[in-house]
Chain A
């Protein structure tokens, strides 16, 4: 099986500034990959490329082993890659249901319902309630305006919405940065549950405890290249900080390893 999402030798320059200089990565279904690095290391550029917000200057994105290009964020979303940015993109005065279904409203059946755009409000509320309950988010009432929810509940709503509608890859940009301790834990639990549903999660975070808590692997970017990929025993706070700051020299072999991951099928084709 090829990885769910892979990037091969992504490069991006803005004028003369090289933001990315050949970054490769892969995420499997049901895996949380942390994307960490100092400001300017290239995290958000990688996220923008993967979510269709910008084009790479060079390199390739592969979804389930197939090369893909995203001319718009909409194209990435339609392909199954959802992004939850820090601002969450919620309409504050609209209720939870309206936000959950924004852009995918369910209409009443029959010719008349479709023709008039008549919303099937009961079915939408029911579906929202079910999806939120399945991910065990703590949102008491789906008819509350989004702005009356707590920060953690809003984050949960945005993540649940993205997970429910895309199903392949979820990109999270600093999901816990503005939250209290208890709410951070709730969001991390939610990320685990999303992962357990078989979604590939890419977590961009400055919060080392979060990365250690939920990530199966972490990719450290430094100065636009992969400094290291850390998993298992290697995934420690000291290692993360060391590679982020450059106190430990970048491991070129990790970058090379990532590069070949998307050719996994070719190499292990006989193993299925």
Chain B
């Protein structure tokens, strides 16, 4: 009832309330950044190797593939959906790209620009194709996103293993690994740079353009969007297409770093990407989320992964930690949502 009294107050009180509400929203977004800073500080104290170039290169490479998936996932989750298939699509797309390089261009070795271009194009296209399939099924067939992408997760995983009997494909041109392990000034790996550019572009897309506004509004109230005459199906399709395409790009970068296409390469990335988005403040109920939040969420996960190894904790604890954080983040989100529904 105090809220009611506040609202019914004078214009001055209304203003105070407005300022307070906006401040609260800003704090909510900032505190997770504080967690990242605290983690970095803690690991720096715990291990002399944490703040080194080698560890930065290691951490940023790990973060790259999770981040690309998380960025696409951010749009999907903001739009009130979920894409469980991104990790499996990454694995399939990388394997498909490597398969084309190994089989489509007989004896391709050395630079082989034709084979490399074709392989990269196939990987990105494979990702986009799965995104398109997810989008069509969610937007037009009306199958719930959880079911659609759980299905395509299975399909992509199976197809990835079928391509080479479950084996990774490493007979690809050496120029691929040269590209994947190149870096600028010794500090900025090329995959990290590419990821950064895509991430900034997507951050702007979500926060500053009509496409981003519609993604958020669809997730918030599909009914409102439909009544406003917005062709929401087309936007849903584009959102899943973006997610799949970014999984394809991530597959290229992973393949370039490791010098092989492996159907198993994205297996743990699903959990990490979704956790990164939710930790970053996006609501699984849709309507709220930012790319910068997902960047911070990814940072937390990547720092946990490499930091735990440096302080001699078995790295498998990272998955335990991420799982626990994911549940905690969703629980907090639910508390918030319930509270605001009561208001």
Chain A residues at the B interface, C-beta cutoff of 8 Å: 73-74, 77-78, 85, 87, 89-94, 98-99, 102-105, 107, 116-119, 121, 138, 140-141, 143-145, 147-148, 150, 153, 180, 182
Contact = CB atoms under 8 A, between A and B. Distances in A.
Interface string B164-187: 000000000000000000000000
Contacts of B211: 117
Given A73-B229, A93-B287, 17 more contacts: A73-B227, A78-B229, A87-B223, A89-B228, A90-B224, A92-B221, A94-B287, A98-B216, A98-B217, A103-B225, A117-B209, A117-B210, A138-B11, A141-B19, A143-B22, A147-B340, A150-B7
B213 A119 contact: yes
A143 B7 CA distance: 16
17 contacts: A87-B223, A91-B216, A91-B287, A92-B221, A92-B340, A93-B216, A94-B216, A98-B213, A98-B217, A102-B230, A103-B225, A105-B210, A119-B213, A141-B22, A143-B22, A144-B22, A150-B4
A77 B229 CA distance: 9
A73 B340 CA distance: 31
Q: Which applies to chain B's interface (DSSP): helix, strand, loop or mixed? A: helix
A128 to B, nearest CB: 14
Q: Which applies to chain A's interface (DSSP): helix, strand, loop or mixed? A: loop
Contacts of B283: 93
B338 interface: no
A25 to B, nearest CB: 24
B227 A94 contact: no
B21 interface: yes
Contacts of A92: 220-221, 287, 340
B17 interface: yes
Interface string B193-225: 000000000000000111101001100110111
A119 B210 contact: yes
Nearest to A73: B227
B209 A119 contact: yes
B14 interface: yes
A72 to B, nearest CB: 8
B18 A102 contact: no
Contacts of B257: none
Closest 6 CB pairs of A and B: A103-B228, A141-B18, A91-B220, A117-B210, A93-B287, A140-B14
Interface residues of B, number: 33
B146 interface: no
Contact of B221 (A89, A119, A121): A89
Nearest to B216: A94
A94 B220 contact: yes
B15 interface: yes
Nearest to B217: A91
Contacts of A74: 229
A98 B214 CA distance: 9
Given A91-B220, A102-B217, A150-B7, A116 B209 contact: yes
Given A140-B14, A144-B21, A182 B287 contact: no
A89 B220 contact: no
A116 B211 CA distance: 9
A238 B4 CA distance: 34
Given A105-B213, A119-B210, A182-B8, A89 B227 contact: yes
B225 A102 contact: yes
Contacts of A78: 229
Contacts of B230: 102-103
B343 interface: yes
Nearest to B19: A141
B335 to A, nearest CB: 15
A150 B343 CA distance: 9
A54 to B, nearest CB: 15
A94 B78 CA distance: 12
A77 B17 CA distance: 35
A9 B221 CA distance: 36
Contact of B208 (A119, A143, A144, A153): A119
Interface string B285-311: 001100000000000000000000000
